[in-house]
Amino acid sequence: MGAFIAKMLLPTVSSLVFLPAASVAAKRGFHMEAMVYFFTMFFVAIYHACDGPGLSILCFMKYDILEYFSVYGTALSMWVTLIALGDFDEPQRSSITMFGVLTIAVRIYQDRWGYGIYSGPIGSAVFIITVKWLQKMKQLRAVYPEKTVYTQQVGPGCCFGALALMLRFYFEEWDYAYVHSFYHLSLAVSFILLLPKKNRYAGTGRNAAKLSCFTLCCCVCYIYSC
């Protein structure tokens, strides 16, 4: 009986892996991305908790709403991570990010379980990044960005991301609790790997912008009060 309950709780507990991703993003100066990861962790955890035994008290919203925002947060996390990887200048960066925020919301409202909820944002982001990097290569007549970005970020990050999607869409029938938990882990690892080492817009030294735990807690309280 204890093993069964533990297995039921595994998807909820495994969703907490997005918390280290949010922490790493905040330390690197990617505060918006950290907020998105924290948002995703919160709704994914509560959504899976509603499926667990004896945790229905945590379902402070309708199950359908929790389901929507858990999928929306996951897709949005993929989008903001890839856009951060692209290292766009302002106002391109904020404009492209907002484009994803709006279009992903509409797409998931139409269908929250199809392949398009993730392939759409990923495909669009990869296309935009490819165009930008090819233009940079043409201007510099050299590889852009540095080779280490491809070997240490793009390659490993994409591998973990591909593994996560394969687990999500092709292998969950094997054993949902374990496979879905590994899906959470692979996805969080891909976010950490794909994020650049430093946000050049975050400032340095004393002028560096900081994201405190108090801010994140305030956001949770605001969501809960809604």
pLDDT higher than 60, residue 86: yes
Question: For residue 119, what are its two tokens?
Answer: 């392939």
141 burial (CB, 10 Å; 0-12 / 13-18 / 19+) is exposed
- Residue 114 vs residue 99, higher pLDDT: 99
46 burial (CB, 10 Å; 0-12 / 13-18 / 19+) is buried
pLDDT higher than 90, residue 211: no
Q: So what's the pLDDT on residue 219?
A: 57
Residue 164 sits at the vertex; the CA angle it makes with 10 and 175, to the nearest 5 degrees, is 45
Q: b/e per residue, 82-108, with b = 16+ CB within 10 A?
A: bbbbbbbeeeebeebbeebeeebeebb
SS3 at position 120? helix
Instruction: Report domain 1-198's class.
Output: mainly alpha
Q: Do 28 and 196 touch, CB atoms closer than 8 A?
A: yes
CA distances from 96 to 19, 53, 83, 132, 176 (A): 25, 41, 8, 12, 35
Q: So what's the pLDDT on residue 216?
A: 57
Tally: H helices and E strands in the chain: 10, 0
* Percent helix, percent strand, percent coil in the chain, to nearest 5: 75, 0, 25
Residue 48 binned pLDDT confidence (cut-offs 50, 70, 90): confident
Q: What residues does each domain of the chain span?
A: 1-198
Q: So what's the pLDDT on residue 23?
A: 92
80 burial (CB, 10 Å; 0-12 / 13-18 / 19+) is buried
Please state the pTM of the whole predicted model: 0.88
Q: Do 125 and 100 touch, CB atoms closer than 8 A?
A: yes
pLDDT higher than 60, residue 218: no
SS3 at position 171? coil
Residue 161 binned pLDDT confidence (cut-offs 50, 70, 90): very high
Q: So what's the pLDDT on residue 1?
A: 44
Q: What would the pLDDT profile of 91-111 be if each residue is shown by its tens digit? A: 899 999 999 999 999 999 988
- Give the closest residue to 78 by CA, choosing from 190, 156, 212, 181: 190
Residue 176 binned pLDDT confidence (cut-offs 50, 70, 90): confident
- Residue 128 vs residue 217, higher pLDDT: 128
pLDDT higher than 60, residue 226: no
pLDDT higher than 80, residue 183: yes
Q: What would the pLDDT profile of 138-147 be if each residue is shown by its tens digit? A: 998 999 989 9
